[in-house]
Structure 1
Amino acid sequence: MTETTTRTAITRPVFVRHDDAALRTLHIVTWGCQMNAYDSLRMADVLRPMGYREVATDDADMVIFNTCHIRERAADKLFSALGRLRAVKEARGGRMMIAVAGCVAQAEGAEILRRAPYVDLVVGSQAYHKLPELIAAVEAKRASVIDTAFPAEQKFDFLPEDQSGQGAIANLAIQEGCDKFCTFCVVPYTRGAEQSRPAAAIIAEAKRLVARGAREIALLGQNVNAWHGEGLDGRDWSLARLLDALAEIPEIGRLRYTTSHPRDMGDDLIAAHRRNAKLMPFLHLPVQSGSDAILTAMNRRHTVAGFRRIIEALRAARPDMAFSSDFIIGFPGETDADFRATMALVREVEFALAYSFTYSRRPGTPAADAAAQVAPALAHERLMELQDLLRDQQHAFNRAQVGRRFEVLFTGAGRYPGQVAGRSPYLQPVVVAGTGLADGAIGPGTMTEVTITSANPNSLMGTINQEQIAA
């Protein structure tokens, strides 16, 4: 196959519906963040009018790998998966379209086609709304097509309004891209500059989601609290104002937003946690390190003291507030004193949940060529110590919920007969069993007060009183 790069002007795709006889099968493999999961759903939406229906197996007529480029060896993971799929395609006489989408596609599009010329389509994270015309180009030219352009128009403006239902808990992308340029991160290069969707489009999508059964909506963005979009009144709105507007939709019971940056945690957003009852008391706020020296080297442009002030202000606004965070261990130049400062911050804040990794060199980022790279064995040793502490804090937070009563949003059946499962305000899985549940009285989308009776490391058990079930 030869490589063809499409650079035509963007026009709104015409979504031609096919009859049932023309149905084709589609399988999407999703790696990475919630934004990627959202993008995969929207890719399926774009392809549905073309006659594609999703299936669970990778011998579909079209397979899309929606990739993530955050961690090391992301490309190796992709090429390994592509190698396995090549045999399936060859066994079918080539009658399979293979596409690579997402951040690895954006960063390494030409390299993908060089190493895996049997790939038919490479589409970047900002161009997947053009899938119908790109597929048509592949079929017409009988050649690979690559499109990793950053169009001036927002892709959200070109997606069909008829979108996939996500159940009782739904994600909604409101912001994309990053202008922060942390020295370890590829997101500014793979997702582009920060863009905010207008409030009207977000509210309209939220209403479509609740019409399909969503009761909780999580607003997504690479820097979601940097959102500043055109409001319904034509003025610039902040995220706090958008959350207030979404809270006015009666069917929405819960609101969240992720992922936030400490630099964009303004006073109005902190105040929203005090006044907006639908805004959940749980926030993911990545700090990355407890050392100011390392934060400076990372170009985070916030300090440890500033992060502490945000935590204190949020807890003052909402005393039941809990936090999760991200930590990178073994960043170039990290000393033992820097690591001890991170451990001290973790002990002080007490996180309900956290994600921690050793530093991963990403080609093209400033930190990749930095001096004083930390030995992998030392970085791993430090990571294990941090993860032990974070695991203890998570278990302690879960145990502290025993005896509490709070609303649980139920999402479906539990693992065993007679159980129903849902999520707490803090995103913990909650499982309830008892008389009257198996008959569907508590179904997906139901929000009911639960008394927590026991805690496991990663979930909670609870009971519902019979009066609530009967009601």
Structure 2
Amino acid sequence: MIELQHTTKTHDESRQGEALDMLPTGKSTGRKLYIESYGCQMNFSDSEIVASILLDNGFETTKDYKEADVVFINTCSIRENAEQRVRNRLKEFESVKAKNPGMVVGVLGCMAERLKSKFLEEEKLVDVVVGPDAYRDLPNLIDKVDDGNKAVNVLLSREETYADISPVRLNSNGISAFISIMRGCDNMCSFCVVPFTRGRERSRDCHSIVKEAQDLFNAGYREVTLLGQNVDSYKYTKPATEGETPAPPVNFAQLLAMVAEVSPELRVRFSTSHPKDITDEVLHTMARYENICKYIHLPVQSGNSRVLELMNRTYDREWYMDRVNAIRRIIPTCGISTDVITGFCTETEEEHQETLSMMDYVKYDFAYMFAYSERPGTLAAKRYEDDVPEDVKKRRLTEVVNKQQEHSLYRLQNFVGNVQKVLIEGFSKRSDQDYCGRNDQNTMVVFPVDERFKPGQYVHVLAERCTSATLIGRIVD
């Protein structure tokens, strides 16, 4: 499950993704498109697919929703507060739509699939509702709205991967990009809505992934992140023609190597791994290629085996610790981050303490942490009572956050005094006198601008000190 939640690093949980001003690639209609994205990296990647489809149909993009003819929000259903933010944003759009009745307002993504009737019938703020597998139908759906109808397509697919669509890079720094390698999820974690909103798992043609990475490198990009709800279960089998011997399937370790071999100057990251599926083969592949970043997001969710079973995570405490041990053994310098849920149904104080002890065992570089929030339609909502009081959930969350802050500082202090290889991403948010970029372990590094170097280049930075979330240093030869 890919998700952005409470974190001890600088990650904006509700980052808005306005589209860049771009010319249409097809015959211009003169209509302008605005897209705003919430939630996980997959949603931002999907928005780039949507932009590509509509630019091919003559749209232009704009950063200002007030001048747009079509406004889309790409949504997340992971947590209730994410849904509330979307509703509030729709009400802001409503006031502009009142002055421009021809404006089309649409909801895309996970909320669209889950709350289609609410959006169309109850709230009446939305003209079109489109699920994650129906983006190719957008031009047709917009035409229906132009004819005075509401339009909806939330059908899920067992085949759609958008492999043939070249995404339009929205708000791109021209250096880092996402590549979606698979869609959907077959893991029925009891707390998660993703299998219901994104459908069954299917893997994209490995050759189209490598081509996209090569095209990005040729265009000047120097880092790609391979995205999937569970990248370790990636498996692509080329369809065999009649009389042809079927090709062996390509697994995630093999795909990682194929992308890494595009160029040693192209950094490769990935997200998210599932503890039940991550293999030693993947770890050895990471160790073998210098340009595959030594960083793994490995969600634990809970440190207690009974709670993990209720969550239907299909691993226990010992299995998870074994996978961490394998990472430390095969890739000693690897950074590890995680997701933690506090106050899941029936969680006892002793079981919460096991989560804290797991954190002490691993000492994560950073974590996404949140209190359990029941999501309608999930297995947990159907099977279990949400019986941990809110004040207990919040107190446990505070304990988890405090412990993670200690561990994040510990990990950062271990970098101080050492030289880090950093890809310059651009200027620091606080000053145009400083550059910023990430090291192999996904830690942000800030250092003074050196005119010899520019964004998109690699530099070696001596980490001289750190804050609770950032390394601070200077370029060294």
Distance 1:353 1:161 in 2: 30
The CA deviation string for residues 384-436 of structure 1, in whole angstroms up to 9 with x for no partner, is 011100011111211221111121000112232332221111222211115xx
1:389 is the counterpart of 2:403: yes
Evaluate the alpha carbon distance shift between residue 119 and residue 372 of structure 1 in structure 2; reply closer, same or farther with a 3 A threshold: closer
AA of the residue aligned to 1:143: N
Query: Which of these residues, 139, 150, 153, is aligned with residue 144 of structure 1?
Result: 150
SS in 1 for 2:293: coil
SS in 1 for 2:440: coil
Distance 1:42 1:442 in 2: 32
| CA apart distance, 1:252 | 4.3
Distance 1:184 1:361 in 2: 7
| CA apart distance, 1:321 | 1.2
Which runs of 4 or more aligned residues in structure 1 lie more than 4 Å from their structure 2 counterparts after TM superposition? 160-166
Distance 1:58 1:319 in 2: 47
Distance 2:46 2:168 in 1: 14
Residue 118 of structure 2 is matched in structure 1 by: 111
Distance 1:356 1:57 in 2: 33
Residue 132 of structure 1 is matched in structure 2 by: 139
1:403 is the counterpart of 2:422: no
- Runs of 5+ consecutive residues of structure 1 not aligned to the other structure: 1-14
Query: Which of these residues, 142, 159, 162, is aligned with residue 165 of structure 2?
Result: 159
SS in 2 for 1:448: strand
Residue 11 of structure 1 is matched in structure 2 by: none
Sequence identity (%)? 32
1:454 is the counterpart of 2:465: yes
Residue 254 of structure 2 is matched in structure 1 by: 241
AA of the residue aligned to 1:393: H
| CA apart distance, 1:40 | 1.1
Evaluate the alpha carbon distance shift between residue 95 and residue 138 of structure 1 in structure 2; reply closer, same or farther with a 3 A threshold: closer
Q: How many matched pairs?
A: 444
SS in 2 for 1:202: helix
Query: Which of these residues, 416, 430, 448, is aligned with residue 445 of structure 2?
Result: 430
The CA deviation string for residues 62-118 of structure 1, in whole angstroms up to 9 with x for no partner, is 1100000001244333222212211110022x0211010010001111221012324
| CA apart distance, 1:169 | 1.3
Distance 2:369 2:409 in 1: 16
Residue 212 of structure 1 is matched in structure 2 by: 219
Does the aligned pair in 2 maintain the 1:281–1:321 contact within 8 Å? yes
Residue 88 of structure 2 is matched in structure 1 by: 80
Query: Which of these residues, 56, 68, 86, is aligned with residue 49 of structure 1?
Result: 56
Residue 30 of structure 2 is matched in structure 1 by: 23
The TM-score with structure 1 as length reference comes to 0.90
- Aligned-residue Cα RMSD (Å) equals 1.9
The CA deviation string for residues 198-257 of structure 1, in whole angstroms up to 9 with x for no partner, is 111111111121122211111100111110113699320111011111111126431111
Q: More displaced, 228-237 or 31-40?
A: 228-237
Evaluate the alpha carbon distance shift between residue 296 and residue 17 of structure 1 in structure 2; reply closer, same or farther with a 3 A threshold: same
Distance 1:260 1:122 in 2: 30
Q: More displaced, 151-160 or 307-316?
A: 151-160
| CA apart distance, 1:57 | 2.1
1:318 is the counterpart of 2:331: yes
The 5 Å alignment of 1:169-184 reads 169-184=176-191
Q: More displaced, 155-164 or 76-85?
A: 155-164
Residue 12 of structure 1 is matched in structure 2 by: none
Query: Which of these residues, 365, 373, 378, is aligned with residue 352 of structure 1?
Result: 365
1:70 is the counterpart of 2:78: yes
Evaluate the alpha carbon distance shift between residue 254 and residue 207 of structure 1 in structure 2; reply closer, same or farther with a 3 A threshold: same
1:34 is the counterpart of 2:38: no
1:224 is the counterpart of 2:242: no
AA of the residue aligned to 2:99: A
Does the aligned pair in 2 maintain the 1:263–1:302 contact within 8 Å? yes
SS in 1 for 2:247: coil
- Runs of 5+ consecutive residues of structure 2 not aligned to the other structure: 1-23, 240-245
Does the aligned pair in 1 maintain the 2:226–2:270 contact within 8 Å? yes
Distance 1:77 1:433 in 2: 37
SS in 2 for 1:324: strand
Distance 2:252 2:217 in 1: 20
The 5 Å alignment of 1:180-329 reads 180-230=187-237, 234-250=247-263, 252-329=265-342
Distance 1:302 1:276 in 2: 29
1:89 is the counterpart of 2:97: yes
The TM-score with structure 2 as length reference comes to 0.89
Evaluate the alpha carbon distance shift between residue 36 and residue 377 of structure 1 in structure 2; reply closer, same or farther with a 3 A threshold: same
AA of the residue aligned to 2:27: H
